[in-house]
Structure 1
Amino acid sequence: MSHGKIREDKTCLNCGHQVEERFCPHCGQENTERRQPFYFLFTHFVEDFTHYDGQFWGTGKNLLFKPGKLTNTYLEGKRQIFVPPVKLYIFVSFITFFVFALFPMVNIGSNDKNNEEHDKPGILKIVKPINSLGTKKIIDSIKTKKILTEEDSLAIEKLEMIPDSANLEKMLDMNKTIDSGDGIYKTKKAYDSAMAKNPGSLDFVEKPIVHKYFELKEHGITKKELFNNMIEKSFHNLPKALFIYLPLFAFFLWVFHNKKKWWYFDHGIFTLHYFSFLLLTILLIFLLGKVAKLTEIKALNAFLYLGMTIITIYSMGYFFIAHRRVYRANGLVSIIVGIILLTINFFAFMFLLTGLALVSFMMLH
């Protein structure tokens, strides 16, 4: 596994026992030279995770294309053939977190919003000058030009549709204090006033979220940005949510299977392998989506989206295949139990994911 130079001294540096070959028969430490070239740090890191003897690649191939095999092999006691479940999950999770951090999907409050507003010729450009010059003065200043362009004509039309500064300020003041009529309040003050008149049992949950929304709105963040950011946060929270959900998923497996035949440990191994697969598929879908956004070739985009669809469908059927192979249940019984398990876990996991998304939302600034 390692390419470090073997020591001429056959005494193990760790425990003092005699080492006949590369590894100490007493403690298992490799009897290599203590001092290594600088590049050995990197090669040793890669070896620890991927094992140049093919252990890692064999594990990945079986994990992706042979549902349930890793779990069966491990529970049979053959534990040196593939990467251990915990080590596999940690490595896959690390890679997923790293890629998500390296390629964010949405940068909230970025210059894209400012550029969009800069390109709009409507009210966003003219509200500020209205307060100082007035609509009529702006129109007169445009008309003084010898040659009026199409942009000038469009600007005059829009200005004539907007009230003067005095009326505009009155409208804005009214907008701050009234309810829009469909349950969406324009300001935090209007919301707090309505909640004070008609308090609810879940106000302690709703109120901080609404206040955070108005705080972000005051900083110029649009609803579209918030929506995109919530999608990004939910997607990026998947690895965290899966890690938190590991023991609960194994618990539901324990509830639905023979307690004498299957221990909680066995369900934990199945869960680690299944969640490692989910992380890999999430990572693949994410990368394909990023490539699809970068390319403008329609044929390539269609191929990428087709690949994402196939991976999604395959990941949905993966659980049923792995569940039947590991627990060796009758086909129909396995499908029914699998559907019940997935339904329960889906709602429980979405509840957890929603909670994490709300926490992330509250931490936006």
Structure 2
Amino acid sequence: MSHGKLREEKDCLNCEHIVEEKYCPNCGQHNIHTKQPFHFLITHFIEDFTHYDGQFWGTMKNLFFKPGKLTSTYLEGKRQQFVPPVKLYIFVSFITFFLFAVFPPFDINFEGKGKTKLFSQKDKISEIQKAINDTKTKEKLTKEDSMYIAKLNSALTDSSKINQIERTLDLDQKLQDNEVTISDNNFVNRPISNKLAELQKKGYKKSEILTGFIETTIHNLPKALFIYLPIFAFILWLFHNKKRWWYFDHGIFTLHYFSFLLLSLLFSLLLYKITEYSSIPAINKFLYLGIACIFIYDVIYFFIAHKRVYQTQKRVSLIIGFITLWINYFAFLFLVIGLAFISFLMIH
């Protein structure tokens, strides 16, 4: 894979220094032509990140199997051996966001066995008309049939009656059974109850609203991790020696740990998506076991990385690790739920 065609001229286009070989000895710019084919954008990005000298693959190997090694090496001043932490996190975030968009964890806008069907107003009108036609095909109409048809015809002329007629058609369960009752006696519950009422008027059931909320929450995980980066580092800073460990050091630890978390989240998503296409129970059980193992490793990883980076006694490291991990767990959970509610309230 080529970095691009070299220029015959030996003057650097960036600083005008003399270029003896491929790179400018003054500024480091590659002495290639400014005009390149479109595929150069892709190849250049891949080459620059992986370097093909083992830097990228060495980073991935240590990130997964040697918790804390990347952070320790970086803080020791050996910063050319692996991909820089900020660059690593940006790349991992991009891949995670992209694949989450391509392979969403849930899809509630479809029909099928075991799936949720969202009925629009138009769908319900079609179902009512079908019920009328099916009733009229009977050889002999009873008094109840005539009343039933009259009721359906009345619903067709009054859209406000469509939700009420659903229980007659068994399209959905009774709306009264599906309504979510939330007290609106404060500024938090009031907008939520208003949004729930709005969605139910549009024909959404309780189960559909809950599924949508869960979907939104999972989609917000990568965003929440990015927002939570400085908070996680700050909590680490609170529980460690301020003279020995600066906030910068905790930031590097956080970037590496969150890069690992994003990749583990991505692998869990891919395993979950495979279960949707697999009809073999044994394979699905194995995949679910793999997802569970990933989440367990996420927790164990933190303690191993913490012990390796901060070089504290095992007991002290465990105590500090448990405290910081629990504080971060509840704080992060609060952030994720908060983002999910904000996204929920913005649904149209």
Q: Give the shorter-chain TM-score range.
A: 0.7 to 0.9
Aligned residue number for residue 211 of structure 1: 194
Q: Contact 1:68–1:321 at 8 Å: present in 2 too?
A: yes
Q: In the aligned structure 2, how far is the partner of 1:9 from the partner of 1:231?
A: 59
Aligned residue number for residue 274 of structure 1: 257
Q: In the aligned structure 1, how far is the partner of 2:236 from the partner of 2:285?
A: 38
Does residue 38 in structure 1 map to residue 38 in structure 2? yes
C-alpha deviation, 1:33, in angstroms: 2.5
Does residue 317 in structure 1 map to residue 300 in structure 2? yes
Q: Contact 1:131–1:165 at 8 Å: present in 2 too?
A: no
C-alpha deviation, 1:260, in angstroms: 0.5
Does residue 344 in structure 1 map to residue 344 in structure 2? no
C-alpha deviation, 1:227, in angstroms: 1.4
Q: In the aligned structure 2, how far is the partner of 1:349 from the partner of 1:117?
A: 32
Instruction: Report the number of matched residues.
Output: 325
Q: Which deviates more, 41-50 or 264-273?
A: 41-50
Aligned residue number for residue 225 of structure 1: 208
C-alpha deviation, 1:141, in angstroms: 6.3
Q: In the aligned structure 2, how far is the partner of 1:126 from the partner of 1:21?
A: 73
- Cα RMSD over matched residues? 3.7
Q: Contact 1:96–1:280 at 8 Å: present in 2 too?
A: yes
Residues 298 and 112 from structure 1, CA distance in 2 versus in 1: closer, same or farther, beyond 3 angstroms? closer
Aligned residue number for residue 234 of structure 1: 217
Q: Which deviates more, 87-96 or 9-18?
A: 9-18
Aligned residue number for residue 173 of structure 2: none
Does residue 28 in structure 1 map to residue 28 in structure 2? yes
C-alpha deviation, 1:5, in angstroms: 2.9
Q: Contact 1:130–1:165 at 8 Å: present in 2 too?
A: no
Q: Deviations over 1:168-203 (max 9, x none)?
A: 98xx69x9xxxx799954xxxxx8xxx7xxx73x2x
Q: With structure 2 as the length reference, what TM-score do the two structures score?
A: 0.82
SS at match of 1:22: coil
Q: In the aligned structure 2, how far is the partner of 1:339 from the partner of 1:326?
A: 16
State how 1:62-141 maps to structure 2 within 5 Å: 62-111=62-111, 128=128, 138=135
C-alpha deviation, 1:37, in angstroms: 3.2
The alignment-based identity, stated in percent, is 57
Q: In the aligned structure 1, how far is the partner of 2:263 from the partner of 2:117?
A: 38
Aligned residue number for residue 144 of structure 1: 140
Q: In the aligned structure 2, how far is the partner of 1:214 from the partner of 1:29?
A: 60
SS at match of 1:142: coil
Counterpart residue type for residue 90 of structure 1: I
Q: Contact 2:72–2:309 at 8 Å: present in 1 too?
A: yes
Choose from 241, 247, 256 the match for 2:239.
256
Q: Which consecutive unaligned segments of at least 5 residues does structure 1 have? A: 119-123, 146-155, 186-190
C-alpha deviation, 1:12, in angstroms: 1.2
C-alpha deviation, 1:342, in angstroms: 0.5
